[in-house]
Amino acid sequence: MHSSFEWQMDYGQKQELLGLTLAQLQSVVLDLGLPKFTASQVAGWLYQKRVTTIDEMTNISKKGRELLNNAYTVGRKAPSEIHRSSDGTVKYLFPVGDEKYVESVYIPDGERATLCISSQIGCQMNCEFCATGKQGYKGNMTSGRILNQILSIEGFENLTNIVYMGMGEPLNNTDEVLKSIEVITSTYGLGWSPKRITLSTVGIIPGLKRFLEACSCNLAISLHIPYPEIRERYMPAERAYPILDVLSLVKQYDWSGQRRISFEYTMFKGVNDSMADADHLAKLIKGIECRVNIIPYHTIPDVSLTPADAKTMQEFVKRLEKEHITATIRRSRGQDIEAACGMLSKIKALL
């Protein structure tokens, strides 16, 4: 696995400041012979004032800026493409080096504005129903590349929530994801409350343990199919990280406070949409104070799965509610620009 600096140097560029924690910035400035407090100044310029060049850091001495410029660059990148949906959703295509790209999605909804961000270039999970997995895995993103998706969009000032639900499995890139979360939630960074952040995972248990211990952000488990033997057919990660083991782990934590847990359940006709499936799901997650998000399936090429109909989804929700489980049907957003759940793929974006 690449370290942050190794990955940045792979781009053939100067080392990038964006994505570094305050402790890392302190190491940077001390190595250059600058006062330690310069790190706090740099952090303020990077994360609060969102500058794109070191020369804009005007409260740092001219000599200090020269030293920083000799070895570093800010690392901000504008999106290469912007696609706008008729429902107000905006999809961004970001360059992440060496002709590689990722997508992120801005979703406005009344007073709420959510940004769905990517954490990997492609994905290793290869879930049958997800376009991202079909393009394969091209590498982990640095914390800087992750944060660039947030800092470089038009609607940054309106953002209320961030979800790690874009391209990639966040907990296959735990180091950089946790570093980006530190920047988002720290006072030297964006200063956000952890309850405004949700991370989605298929259940990579080593990374999940680290995530649950390191922060109090919300968690979304991509469950989708409540029978392990069937889930394995559609989600290969089940072999290495059985959903029963994932549930056993999350049951060790308290979900009655500010941190929330939800289960994502993409519904496929004839696969996981029966009332018996609803009953089995309820039994599986019994004892966890949670929400189930029923997600309409969005068809992708060369996959034989078909969406469940709206009436079936509504009946499924009612069945869960009878078991005292909160359930909602997620409204599809950005489908006309291929920005809805499971549709992100930089391959299609570049065609």
Residue with tokens 């609607």: 155
Instruction: Say whether 210 sits in a helix, a strand or coil.
Output: helix
Out of 123, 215, 290, 341, which one is annotated catalytic? 341
The answer to whether 197 and 147 have CB atoms below 8 angstroms apart is: no
Q: Which residue, among 84, 36, 29, 78, has the nearest Cα to 54 in the 3D structure? A: 29
One-letter amino acid of 120: Q
Using CA atoms in the order 188, 194, 200, 202, what is the torsion angle rounded to 10 degrees? 100
Strand-strand pairing, 161-164 and 197-201:
parallel
CA distance 290 to 327: 9
In the chain, what is the greatest distance between 2 CA atoms, to the nearest angstrom?
69
The answer to whether 149 and 203 have CB atoms below 8 angstroms apart is: no
Out of 6, 99, 103, 169, which one is annotated catalytic? 103
128 flagged as catalytic: no
Two structure tokens written together for 260: 């929330």
Backbone φ and ψ for 145, nearest 5 degrees, come out as -65, -35
CA distance 151 to 144: 10
123 flagged as catalytic: no
CA distance 58 to 51: 11
Two structure tokens written together for 91: 């999809």
Q: How many CB atoms within 10 Å of residue 220?
A: 20
Mind telling me the catalytic residues?
103, 341
